[in-house]
Chains A and B, each alone.
Chain A
Amino acid sequence: MLKTSLGTLLLDNPILSASGTFGSGWEGRMFSDLAQVGALVSKTVTVHPRPGNPPPRIWETASGMLNSIGLENKGADYFLAESLPKMQQLANGGRGPRIIINIGGESIDEFVQLAERFSAAGVDALEVNLSCPNVQEGRLLFSTEPRLTEQALRAVKRVATVPVFAKLSPNVTDITEIARAAEQGGADGITAINTLIGMAIDWRKQRPILGRGIGGLSGPAIKPVALRMVYECARTVKIPILGVGGVRSATDVLDFVCAGASAVQIGTAQFTDPALMVRLKDELRTLLTEARMTIAELRGSAHRPAAIPTAKPTAACAVATPEVKG
C-alpha cells in the first residue's frame, strides 16, 4: 500500500527526511525507530569543510522559519569516515531506511568528485543540491540556469553508479525549465523544492535579523508554493518527483502524491516533532486503508480529468446564471 519507487530505487514507504533537517539521522534515532522510514537524506556534504554562516541563523516567521545555515559541514573526508558509517548502521543491511547522500559542489568538477566518492561508498542514491540559497556560488551557478543544471547532471550521471536526483530551487521564473534541463541531463528524478529566499528585519535595530541578511523560508507557509511547483513539474517531466515543502501531516503527504510526487520529504516539521516521520507513515496507512487506495494509485491523480462528471445545469439554473463577459 505504501510502497513506492523512485526509478530503480524501491522504497517501503514514501516518507523521507529532507536534507539539512535531520543531520545524518544519528541524533534522530533517539526519538523513533528509523527502520520505518523510507529513506534518509543526509545534510549536504561538500568537498571541503564549510563552517557555515554567522549567527543568528534562524528566525521563526508566520507559519514558517527562515534559515541561513550556509551548508555547515565538515567536508567529504569527515563525512565518509564518521557520518556515513552511522547512516549505514541505521540502514542495517537493507532492513532500515535507504541512504541518500545530498552533495553540494561549487563547480561541476566538485559535483563529479563527490558523486564518484559516494557512489563508491555504496550509498543508495545521490541528491544533487543545485539550489542552496545560502551560499553565493551555488545560487549563482546552477539552480537558476537550465544549461548549467543540465551540464552538472550530465557530468554527475557519467560517474554515478546509483540513481541521481536533482534538488531544484523555487527561486526561478519557471521551475519546469530547470526540471526539464535536469531530465535532459539524465537525472533519475527531481526533488522540488528547496527553500524560498526571504528575510526578516528588526525595525528597532534597523537591521536584518539573520547574520547573513537573507535566508531560506521553509515550513507550512511554503506548502502551497511547493505543491504548485510539483504539480507543474509533474506535467513537464517523466522522471519521478520527490515533493518537499511544508509537509507536517499525512494529508499533506497525499496532497503532494496527488500533485505527482512519488515520495515526500519531511523537513521543518521534524524540528517540532522529532518522531514525526514514523508517525506520518502510520497515519498514511490509516488514511489509505480508509480510502482503499494505494500511493501508486494516487500518484498524479490531481492531473486526471475529474472521475465524476459535473452536474449539468438545469434549465432554471441556466436562465438565472448571468452571462459572463470576457
Chain B
Amino acid sequence: MLSAPMQTRVHALRRLRELGGGSFAVEVDGPIPATLPGQFYMLRTEKRWPVLLPRPFSLYDRAADGSWGSFLVKGVGEGTRAILDLAPGEGLVLNGPLGQPFPRDIDNPICVAGGVGLAPFLLLAREYKAQGRNLRLLFGGRNRAALSGLEDVEPVARVFASTDDGSHGFHGMVTALLDDLIARGEVKAGEVVFCCGPDPMMHAVAALCEKRGLRCFLSLETYMACGYGVCNGCTVKVQGPRFKGWPYSRTCMEGPVYEACELVH
C-alpha cells in the first residue's frame, strides 16, 4: 500500500503579532516540517473560511525544532482577513511545504524584498546568521509602515531599507537603492539577486539586473487553486531548457521561484 507522507493538518493559532502596515506574523503551533526559504503553504481557517480555495503563503519564520511557525499575512481580501480574525487556540489548516525553494547552490545572494515579499527571506537570513554570516537584504516599501517585519529581520541580516516617501532609509524605490549599491561597488556584476515583491517591482528589479549583469531569481505570487500540481491553474509562460520546450509552468510545482530569464512576458 502506498503511504500518504503529506497531510493537511490543523494547527492552533498561538498569537497574531502585529508588524505594522496592516500585516501580522500569524504564529501557529507545530510541528512545522523543515521548510526551505521560498517554499510555501496553502492556508485556510478551520472554521468560518469565507471563501472556497485556500491561499498560498511563504513560511515566514520557524522555530529551529519546528515547535512553531509563522506566516506573514496582510489583510487585503476576504481570505486574509479571515485568517487575521482568528483567536488564539483556533485552527489554521496548513498544507505544505510546497514548491521549490530559492536555489540552494548560490552563496551569499543579495535579497530584494518589497512589502510582504519579505516573507521568504527571514528564514534565509537565519540560515546565514547560524553560520556567523550576514545576508544582505534590500527591503523597500511605500513608507516606514509598509516595512512590516523590519524589526524581525534587522537583528539577523544586513538590511538596506528604502521607502518611496523617504520616511525611512534610502529615499526612493528599492530598484534605485539596488542601482545605488551597484554604483558604490557594494554589489558587483556577476552576483545573484533573490527577489520577492509586487509584480511591477519584480519586473523593475529583473530589468535592472539584466542591465547590470546580475543573475536574478524571482519568487512569484500567482492565483492558485490546489497548490499541489493538479489543476494547472497557476501556470506562467516560460522558456529555457528546464521546461523542455513546454511553454507553461506550474508555479506551485516548478516554481514559485524562477530565474528571471526563464519568464516570458
A residues bordering B, Cβ < 8 Å? 20-23, 27-35, 43, 49, 51-52, 54-60, 63-65, 67, 69, 72, 74, 90, 92, 219-220, 268, 270-275
Q: Which A residues are CB-close (under 8 A) to B6?
A: 30-31, 274
Which of B65-73, B100-108, B223-231 lies at the interface? B223-231
Chain B contributes a number of interface residues (CB within 8 A of A) equal to 34
Tell me the complex Cα distance, A73–B177, Å: 43
Tell me the complex Cα distance, A52–B246, Å: 10
Q: Which A residues are CB-close (under 8 A) to B3?
A: 33
Nearest chain B residue, comparing its CB with the CB of A34: B2
Is B130 part of the contact surface with A, judged by Cβ < 8 Å? no
Q: Which A residues are CB-close (under 8 A) to B239?
A: none
Is B95 part of the contact surface with A, judged by Cβ < 8 Å? yes
B4 → chain A closest CB, angstroms: 5
Within 8 A of A (CB), among B209-230: 222-230
| Given A29-B2, A35-B2, A219-B52: A52 touches B230 (CB 8 Å cut-off) | no
Is B74 part of the contact surface with A, judged by Cβ < 8 Å? no
* A272 adjacent to B54 (CB under 8 Å): yes
Is B53 part of the contact surface with A, judged by Cβ < 8 Å? yes
| Given A54-B237, A55-B222: A60 touches B51 (CB 8 Å cut-off) | yes
Nearest chain A residue, comparing its CB with the CB of B224: A58
Most buried by A among B222, B227, B233: B233
Q: Which A residues are CB-close (under 8 A) to B237?
A: 54-55
* A58 adjacent to B233 (CB under 8 Å): yes
* A57 adjacent to B52 (CB under 8 Å): no
| Given A27-B228, A28-B230, A58-B231: A275 touches B222 (CB 8 Å cut-off) | no
Q: Which A residues are CB-close (under 8 A) to B160?
A: none
Tell me the complex Cα distance, A49–B234, Å: 19
B77 → chain A closest CB, angstroms: 10
Q: Which B residues are CB-close (under 8 A) to A92?
A: 1-2
Is B247 part of the contact surface with A, judged by Cβ < 8 Å? yes
8 contacts between A and B (CB under 8 A): A21-B230, A23-B230, A31-B228, A52-B235, A55-B222, A60-B52, A60-B223, A72-B248
| Given A30-B228, A31-B8, A31-B228: A272 touches B1 (CB 8 Å cut-off) | no
Nearest chain B residue, comparing its CB with the CB of A269: B52
Q: Which B residues are CB-close (under 8 A) to A31?
A: 4, 6-8, 95, 228
Q: Which B residues are CB-close (under 8 A) to A21?
A: 226, 230-231
* A60 adjacent to B53 (CB under 8 Å): yes
Is B11 part of the contact surface with A, judged by Cβ < 8 Å? no
| Given A29-B2, A272-B44: A58 touches B234 (CB 8 Å cut-off) | yes
* A58 adjacent to B225 (CB under 8 Å): yes
| Given A51-B247, A52-B248, A60-B52: A69 touches B233 (CB 8 Å cut-off) | yes
* B44 adjacent to A69 (CB under 8 Å): no
Contact of A56 among B7, B8, B223 (CB under 8 A): B223
Chain B window 221-265, contacts with chain A (Cβ cutoff 8 Å), 1 for yes, 0 for no:
011111111111111110000000011100001000000000000
Given contacts A30-B5, A67-B231, A271-B54, 15 further A-B pairs with CB under 8 A are A29-B2, A30-B6, A30-B228, A52-B232, A56-B223, A57-B232, A58-B223, A59-B223, A72-B235, A92-B1, A270-B226, A271-B225, A272-B44, A274-B8, A275-B8
| Given A57-B235, A74-B246: A27 touches B230 (CB 8 Å cut-off) | yes
Contact of A274 among B44, B224, B228 (CB under 8 A): B228
* A275 adjacent to B52 (CB under 8 Å): no
Nearest chain A residue, comparing its CB with the CB of B227: A271
Contact of B230 among A22, A49, A59, A220 (CB under 8 A): A22
Tell me the complex Cα distance, A63–B232, Å: 20
* A28 adjacent to B1 (CB under 8 Å): no
* B248 adjacent to A51 (CB under 8 Å): yes
Tell me the complex Cα distance, A20–B229, Å: 11
Tell me the complex Cα distance, A50–B236, Å: 15
* B233 adjacent to A67 (CB under 8 Å): yes
Chain B window 1-28, contacts with chain A (Cβ cutoff 8 Å), 1 for yes, 0 for no:
1111111100000000000000000000
Nearest chain B residue, comparing its CB with the CB of A274: B228
Closest 10 CB pairs of A and B: A58-B233, A271-B226, A271-B225, A27-B229, A23-B230, A30-B6, A51-B247, A69-B232, A57-B233, A32-B4
Q: Which B residues are CB-close (under 8 A) to A271?
A: 53-54, 225-227, 230-231
Chain B window 91-126, contacts with chain A (Cβ cutoff 8 Å), 1 for yes, 0 for no:
000010000000000000000000000000000000
| Given A52-B248, A65-B225: A33 touches B4 (CB 8 Å cut-off) | yes
Nearest chain B residue, comparing its CB with the CB of A49: B246
Tell me the complex Cα distance, A58–B229, Å: 14
Q: Which B residues are CB-close (under 8 A) to A27?
A: 228-230, 253
* A35 adjacent to B1 (CB under 8 Å): yes
Nearest chain B residue, comparing its CB with the CB of A70: B232
Q: Which A residues are CB-close (under 8 A) to B235?
A: 52, 55, 57, 72
Tell me the complex Cα distance, A60–B55, Å: 11
Tell me the complex Cα distance, A69–B4, Å: 28
